[in-house]
Amino acid sequence: MLVKEIGEQGLLAIVQRFCPPEMVGDDAAILSVPRDESLVITTDMLVDNVHFSDRTTSPFDVGWRSATVNLSDLAAMGAFPLGITVALGITGDQPVAWVEQLYQGLTTCLNQYNTPIMGGDICRSSVTCISITAFGSVNPDLAIKRSVARPGDVIVVTGYHGDSRGGLELLLHPELQTQLTANQRLSLIQAHQRPQPRLDVLPKLQTLLASQPSTAIAGMDSSDGLADAIVQICRASQVGAQVQRCQIPISEALQTLLPPQQALEWPLYGGEDFQLVLCLPGDLAQLLVQQLGTAASIIGEITSHPNILLIDDAEPSTVEELSLSRGFQHFLS
């Protein structure tokens, strides 16, 4: 059955099954924000054949990833999610089952964090596009901002980078998998299809900050790549950084898939890993990395000198400057 055969009202009835009944059916949703907390808002649009394609992403995974993109932005502000809205532009020739699977993917990801779909919009479009706005709340004293990194802070990553790009490559070129174990293959594809927002990091950070309440934590998520995250934080904070090449955690699966020089390209510029990149005092950072375990790592430090350098203690002559220009940019091709 196609979308155009059941019409807007028919489609709305299906979609509303994925929303708490008390929240939809009016002109807008009503929600209370915890007292003394600030509201945090983020929005992202995903477009067919730009952000996803039938070749590499099932409708379930489009939904899952759409949820993660937005929840990851909340996590990057230190905020816990309250709900999301979903605006869907869709062609009449899309199967109704595609829409149902999209919402199943969305809600399966959201349910892990007790986050409801609080409303939305559905309309006809010549290309399928999904626009999600996510709302969260944060104690304003604990908000993570890009602009508060200070010289002397160390840089922490919360997990592996590059695996999502590796998973995409396996989906596009299945012949590459021969060297990988089944588990390695699965872990890379999972990183691409079902990334998790790092909301689990927030309670650990809060506990650590309870002992040093006036510490500002800088950070953002690495949705556009690790290099982009570091550069954006440095720009916003008007500082520089030194990143130790050999400290960047790279999964065994990715190391198996790629020759060594290429194995750093994807972690830095691949994007869509949805890890957090945080800048904080070294003592707190060490405690955080211990608590997070696997793959979390201190990869460098913030400097007052504005250059953002990738250095390699083993090869001191190969200093590289990190830049935004190698990451993914819309419109340039």
Q: Between the CA of residue 50 and those of 164, 198, 330, what are the distances in Å?
A: 16, 24, 9
Range in contact with its own copies (rule: CB under 8 A) among 30-38, 195-203, 254-262, 297-305: 30-38
Tokens representing 168 are: 């995409």
Determine if 50 is a binding residue for its own copies (CB under 8 A). Answer: yes
103 in a known ligand binding site: yes
Answer for which of 30, 182, 210, 314 binds its own copies (CB under 8 A) is 30
- Minimum CB separation of residue 19 from its own copies in Å reads 13
Q: What is the CA radius of gyration of the chain?
A: 21
223 in a known ligand binding site: yes
Give, to the nearest 10 degrees, the angle between helix 59-75 and helix 96-111: 30
Q: Which is nearer to its own copies, 4 or 194 (CB)?
A: 4
| AA identity, residue 127 | V
61 in a known ligand binding site: no
Strand pairing category for 297-303 and 218-221: unpaired
Q: Which is nearer to its own copies, 191 or 229 (CB)?
A: 229
DSSP state of 145: B
Determine if 96 is a binding residue for its own copies (CB under 8 A). Answer: no
Range in contact with its own copies (rule: CB under 8 A) among 52-60, 106-114, 315-323, 324-332: 324-332
- Minimum CB separation of residue 154 from its own copies in Å reads 20
Residue with tokens 């201190």: 298
Tokens representing 48 are: 């067919």
Determine if 330 is a binding residue for its own copies (CB under 8 A). Answer: yes
Which of 112, 106, 160, 144 is closest to 273 using CA atoms?
A: 160
Answer for which of 62, 67, 77, 102 binds its own copies (CB under 8 A) is 77
- Residue 185 and residue 175: Cα distance in Å, rounded? 12
The number of residues that bind its own copies (CB under 8 A) is: 73
Contact 159, 248 (CB under 8 A): no
Determine if 27 is a binding residue for its own copies (CB under 8 A). Answer: yes
- Minimum CB separation of residue 276 from its own copies in Å reads 10
- Considering only residues 120 to 159 of the shown chain, the ones binding its own copies according to CB under 8 A are 120-127, 129, 131, 133-136, 138, 140, 143, 145-147
Q: Between the CA of residue 67 and those of 9, 34, 78, 234, what are the distances in Å?
A: 24, 22, 17, 27
Determine if 55 is a binding residue for its own copies (CB under 8 A). Answer: no
Phi, psi (rounded to 5 degrees) for 298: -90, 120
Residue with tokens 């003592």: 283
Determine if 1 is a binding residue for its own copies (CB under 8 A). Answer: no
Determine if 226 is a binding residue for its own copies (CB under 8 A). Answer: no
Determine if 319 is a binding residue for its own copies (CB under 8 A). Answer: no
- Minimum CB separation of residue 2 from its own copies in Å reads 9
Determine if 32 is a binding residue for its own copies (CB under 8 A). Answer: yes
Find the angle CA(35)-CA(43)-CA(11) to the nearest 5 degrees. Answer: 105
Residue with tokens 């986050």: 115
**Binding site for Mg(2+): what residues are annotated?**
27, 42-44, 73, 121, 221, 224
**Binding site: what residues are annotated?**
27, 42-44, 51, 73, 103, 120-121, 146, 221, 223-224, 272, 328
